Amino acid sequence: MRHFIRSAAVAIAMAAASALSLSAAMAADISGAGATFPYPIYAKWADAYKKETGIGLNYQSIGSGGGIKQIKAKTVTFGASDAPLKGEELDSTGLAQFPMVMGGIVPVVNLEGIKPGELVLDGPTLADIFLGKITNWNDEAIKKLNPDVKLPDQAIAVVHRSDGSGTTFNFTYYLGDVSADWKEKVGVDKAVEWPVGIGAKGNEGVANNVAQTGGAIGYVEYAYAKQNKLTYTDLVNKDGKKVEPTAAAFSAAAANADWSSQPGYGVILANQPGAESWPMTAATWILVYKKPDDAAATGEALKFFAWSYAKGDDMAGQLDYVPMPDAVVKSVEEMWGKDIVDASGKPLYSGM
């Protein structure tokens, strides 16, 4: 009987130790939530980082609006948003903000016989489609831009985001910049009152909905278009040039950005000048507390972001994201060392 009790006690102790070990391992993982735009690259970085360090990333791809809510509620270590917070909001919340990576938003369509890049749209025409003013694929405005493309006599099915979304913020910012009608009637925000169309959650939801709906048009981050083999369109940019969505075109749009001109590096890259610039280029940002309640968790998150800056460029390029310029990375890491501190005022980041 004593032997049985001892054995049971040992088994319970081992189970408890195992549970503690599992709990410790889980506690070491980094938690974040927000933008779906960068999810493919965050997932790729996280997989490589875990293999190298043993520390995982639990990232909820729920949209920028959800990420901002969760970091403000302190339910995650970091929030992620494609719509940067303004300086006054950063100051009032005690949050630090910095850009992680850049990419492109692309219109995607589901038209039989049309190949990726075969169709071209311009900003005013795209705005009129999402305003519900252009309702058929053989409309004269689309035909004028595509004289050599056989356009179907088919109704346009508009698909847009249903959740609070930084992708929507950047998309509506672009439409507002090229269409006074859009700016007046709809405006620019993470969530808007859409004049027409059906809503879908996340870049994932829009990509899936477009793929399943004949005659559909939507907007997604380029990596989602590639991964789902969707037909993207080319665009006419601010300089009147037809451009394809490529990493080079995204880089061209960001080339002249003055990242220090806005609090929290909150520079909008939509509709930038330049013959090679993709007009719907966007950055994505991370939000962490300057004086976090859980300093250890934020310190681990900064290590992951530093690793991603230092070692993640090739992985970003494989998914057609654009890494941040070296000068911006240097500035961000200097900001970490100065502004993000524990309760005693000690910096949480001192370099890799």
Kindly state whether residues 78 and 115 are assigned to the same domain: no
Q: What is the DSSP letter of 334?
A: H
Q: What is the pLDDT of residue 6?
A: 39
Kindly state whether residues 229 and 323 are assigned to the same domain: no
Kindly state whether residues 213 and 123 are assigned to the same domain: yes
Q: What is the pLDDT of residue 233?
A: 98
Last residue of a domain, one of 240, 256, 272: 256
Kindly state whether residues 126 and 230 are assigned to the same domain: yes
Rounded to whole angstroms, how far apart are CA atoms 341 and 348? 5
Assess if residue 218 is contained within a domain.
yes
Kindly state whether residues 58 and 120 are assigned to the same domain: no
**Look-up of token digits 């001109």:** 261
Assess if residue 250 is contained within a domain.
yes
Assess if residue 264 is contained within a domain.
no
Kindly state whether residues 115 and 221 are assigned to the same domain: yes
Assess if residue 217 is contained within a domain.
yes
Kindly state whether residues 110 and 198 are assigned to the same domain: yes
Kindly state whether residues 199 and 120 are assigned to the same domain: yes
Q: What is the pLDDT of residue 8?
A: 40
Put simply, whether the predicted model's pTM sits higher than 0.95 gets the answer no
156 to each of 114, 133, 217, how far by Cα in Å? 14, 11, 7
Assess if residue 132 is contained within a domain.
yes
Residue 304 host element (H or E)? helix 295-311
Query: Where are the alpha helices (H) located in 153-294, listed in sequence order?
Result: 166-178, 180-185, 202-212, 222-227, 247-254
Query: Where are the alpha helices (H) located in 54-121, listed in sequence order?
Result: 64-72, 87-93
Kindly state whether residues 236 and 123 are assigned to the same domain: yes
Assess if residue 307 is contained within a domain.
yes
Q: What is the pLDDT of residue 3?
A: 44
What's the total number of domains in the chain? 2
Q: Which domain holds residue 310?
A: 30-103+282-339
Assess if residue 348 is contained within a domain.
no
Kindly state whether residues 114 and 192 are assigned to the same domain: yes
Q: What is the pLDDT of residue 341?
A: 97
* pLDDT tens-digit profile, the chain (352 residues): 444 333 444 343 333 333 333 333 344 689 999 999 999 999 999 999 999 999 999 999 999 999 999 999 999 999 999 999 999 999 999 999 999 999 999 999 999 999 999 999 999 999 999 999 999 999 999 999 999 999 999 999 999 999 989 999 999 999 999 999 999 999 999 999 999 999 999 999 999 999 999 999 999 999 899 888 999 999 999 999 999 999 999 999 998 788 989 999 999 999 999 999 999 999 999 999 999 999 999 999 999 999 999 999 999 999 989 999 999 999 999 999 999 999 999 999 988 6
Q: What's the CATH code of the domain at 220?
A: 3.40.190.10
Token pair in block for residue 260:
């220090």
Kindly state whether residues 132 and 216 are assigned to the same domain: yes
CA nearest to 162, candidates 79, 63, 231: 63
Kindly state whether residues 60 and 135 are assigned to the same domain: no
Assess if residue 344 is contained within a domain.
no
